[in-house]
Structure 1
């Protein structure tokens, strides 16, 4: 399909770049953009070239969440079923990001509000421009944090801070988000895209099959008992040990050469 609301490409370096591209609406989601992002993520999942995904936004904002103009809540209009919207679009989106079997980097280039503040949390590594901010804006219009926010926030910053963010809806600066452990790193605005691309290219050259297993193990650790996690580590290590990347890594180490990983 042709894309109107996102920019999408998969480079020869293995980096899949997906940029939200409704800058005049601060990259807020409407139905059309949801469908385009879904198709792009499907292509990444099935691509033999994609080794890492970089998600970012065009213009002065990363994502302002849902485009409220895409819904009719005027007096007398039939009330929308927001649960259906979440089930149809937002839940599949965050599941796709979290379950994608390769590293996912998010470069937050400006304001991230509502669902747009929680999408980065479903990614693996988050870089943010120094001018970026995160706002759990749901409470300001009588809604509940979605897109995984009520699950991810307490686990990343603790329950007290999660409740403050969700109930007050105050702006959290990128630097404070880094200090709280919400994101990986803050960088200067002018170098955000370059820093994110450099990190993506580094990961694309690594044994990405093993990185996908690491991601899977860490994600499942939230729900496993200790003994269950030990068993999962055993099972995943068995898979990793049978991979071509593991064989290549050992061979390169023994022969003192640079490894050439293929992600399998």
Structure 2
């Protein structure tokens, strides 16, 4: 009986040792494969375009400074983001325009096909050539819309392009005042938008896109005090302080908090 138990124990130990040997041999093989230098797998035809090669591949004989920038605007994640941004960007204008369903469908299709241009237009730029750059982009979008929209609709579209930054900050201000139970009336909103647009130099008023950075906030506060309540005026003052802080931050750091992605 004792001999049988000893034999069974030896058999179990032998099986366990055999299994452990196989396990550790596989571990050594897997670790070796992980540590060994590997070439990236070649993309299959079904996988589509290999965008990682555009972003990260660097030929050994070429200096990085001589390589062209990657075409990020056509990468699926960036393209989808631009299209989602464009839908949200023009939603309010489309609702206010009351276009018939067929025309609205055509307009939305045109906007989606020019989503990268829209996104590039709405980015904040610095430099002497920014107005010419934006005038070119607004011209491209206007020309694309011209066969679809009539004169009044096209003028509204162009105004929407020019006032994007102002409309965005007015939306933020309206939301902040609504949460404080001091909402702007439609008339107050219209007058404040006009004051922000006018409180800048004639050259800045003629720009294809009105820039908040060119706004004379002291003039805005002075004129807005005539038709806003004290609580509403304080919210505009807080907005002006925030914008002026961001401009000083960008001037000191050289970093734009809304800088466009390279290649857009």
The two structures have a TM-score, normalised by structure 1, of 0.26
Higher normalized helix content (fraction of residues): 2
Higher strand share: 1
Higher RCO (CA 8 Å, separation ≥ 6 residues) = 2
